[in-house]
Structure formats: structure tokens, C-alpha cells
Amino acid sequence: AQKVTQAQTEISVVEKEDVTLDCVYETRDTTYYLFWYKQPPSGELVFLIRRNSFDEQNEISGRYSWNFQKSTSSFNFTITASQVVDSAVYFCALSEAVQGAQKLVFGQGTRLTINP
Amino acid sequence: KAGVTQTPRYLIKTRGQQVTLSCSPISGHRSVSWYQQTPGQGLQFLFEYFSETQRNKGNFPGRFSGRQFSNSRSEMNVSTLELGDSALYLCASAGGPPGLAVNEQFFGPGTRLTVL
């Protein structure tokens, strides 16, 4: 069975600090996909990134970066120079790579609060 | 492109009633998935439809059902409502060719259902 663990339930930092959100996953599949979503107070999940299991390159997008390590089954997300607008709940998710499978297994989420 | 739309946004029902939620995917997207979000269980996959066929199903009782129309719009129905069905119901659509790749899902704002 697939499982995603986000051990950090809540994180609170002061604006401009760097913050890393941890994500550890479990799967027996050799091919799979990992995702990060952001859920602001409005409730709508916003897609941030998709990564397949064959691509272990780290990715940077502006102040966001992701570190994927298959050896430790982790897909961590770092926000550099955090801003108040980054305050949200962040979800890590896993999907098997079966044809047509559009079924996400989510972690419990990390509530990130950026204080001015 | 317009995003995923869900109607209604808020709904209040009483135990034993049934409810139908509607989702219109992003134009051109043929996959529509439904998720339930509660404080206790987090985000859980309900089912996914592709070209009017249910392609994936989560672990929910038969009271939860859905369908998809030829224009890709989808409806979700919950019969004999229970207090525990109170939740945010999120719909997501995905595009791309139906191959091995698992495409990113784009979520709607959700329907908040309260069962009294």
C-alpha cells in the first residue's frame, strides 16, 4: 500500500526565513509520481510540482526548491526567503504510475504560518 | 482557460437525505477525480472518471457514487447522508493523453457539505 507521511503538522517562522517541509513516502512500485500542492485559506488546492521516480534531479522555481532522494524515500520542499503569502497548508502526494491512474494518496499536510 | 468549477459551493443537509454535487473540468480535460477532505481523515480519494467510465475507486461505501457526462462534466451523489459525511468535497481534472504518465490534477474550490 502507498503511504505519505508529513511529520511536521505545523511550522511557524518569521518572514524571510528559509523553511523546509518534509515528505516521506512508502510504495512498492518502482515507477511512481510525487506531487506537492498548496492549499491557501480559500480551500482550493494549487498544483506546485510533479516529479516522476526516474527523475531525481532537484528542481528550483523561484523561491521554491524540491529535493528528491529515492534512497531515503523523501521529497522535501524548501521555501527560501519566505513571505507572508506563503502561509498555507502544503500537501505532498503520491501516485502509482499505472496507465490511467489518476489517484493521489496525500499526506496529512503541513500548516505553514509566515509571521511578518 | 477557465479553471475547474464546482457547484454549489456550500450545502447544508440533514441526516438521511441525499445530495448531488457538480463539477465542470477544465476545457479539454477528460479525467475528473473526486476527493473528500475532513479534519480527521485528511484528503481521501473517492473515484475517478475518464470518458464517462469509472476508472479508479477509493475505499468508500456504496452510498457514494458518481458519473461523468459526454462533455466531461461530472456529478457526485451521496445517498442516506450521515453526520460523518460533512466535509469539503474537491473535484480535480487532468488532461494529457491517456498513457503511462500521470498528469497533474487541477482542483476546483470545493463544495463544503454540512450534514445536520
Q: How many beta-carbon pairs below 8 A join chains A and B?
A: 72
Alpha helices in chain B (DSSP H): none
In this predicted model, what pLDDT tens digit does every residue of B37-69 receive, in sequence order?
Answer: 999 999 999 999 988 999 889 999 999 999 999
The answer to whether B60 faces chain A, any CB pair under 8 Å, is: no
- Kindly give the pairing relationship between strand A88-96 and strand A110-115: antiparallel
In this predicted model, what pLDDT tens digit does every residue of B74-113 receive, in sequence order?
Answer: 999 999 999 999 999 999 999 866 555 677 889 999 999 9
Q: Which B positions 61-90 lie with beta carbon below 8 A of chain A?
A: 88, 90
Cα–Cα separations (whole angstroms), residue B34 to A29, A53, B26, B98, B108:
23, 25, 14, 18, 10
Contact call for residues A51 and A34 (beta carbons, < 8 A)? yes
Q: Is the peptide bond before B8 cis (omega within 30 degrees of 0)?
A: yes
The answer to whether the Cβ–Cβ distance between B107 and A45 falls below 8 Å is yes
The answer to whether A33 faces chain B, any CB pair under 8 Å, is: yes
Cβ neighbours, 10 Å, residue B26: 18
Contact call for residues A52 and A97 (beta carbons, < 8 A)? yes
Can you tell me the distance from the alpha carbon of B92 to that of A10, in angstroms, rounded to the nearest whole number?
26
pLDDT of residue A79: 97
pLDDT of residue B97: 64
Can you tell me the distance from the alpha carbon of B25 to that of B3, in angstroms, rounded to the nearest whole number?
7
CB contacts, 8 Å: B33 with chain A: 102-104
For the cut 80, the answer to whether the pLDDT of residue B26 exceeds it is yes
- Dihedral sign computed on CA atoms, order A97, B73, A48, B85: negative
Q: How many CA atoms lie within 13 A of B91 on its CB side?
A: 34
Start-to-end Cα distance in chain B: 37
Residues of chain A with pLDDT under 70: 98-101
Start-to-end Cα distance in chain A: 41
pLDDT of residue A108: 97
Residue B38 C-alpha, separation from nearest chain A C-alpha, in angstroms: 10
pLDDT of residue A102: 76
The answer to whether A42 faces chain B, any CB pair under 8 Å, is: yes
Nearest to A64 by CA among A106, A24, A18: A18
The contacts of residue A74 (CB under 8 Å, 6+ apart) are A22, A23, A24, A25, A67, A68
Instruction: Give the nearest partner residue to A91 out of B43, B50, B108, using CB atoms.
Output: B43
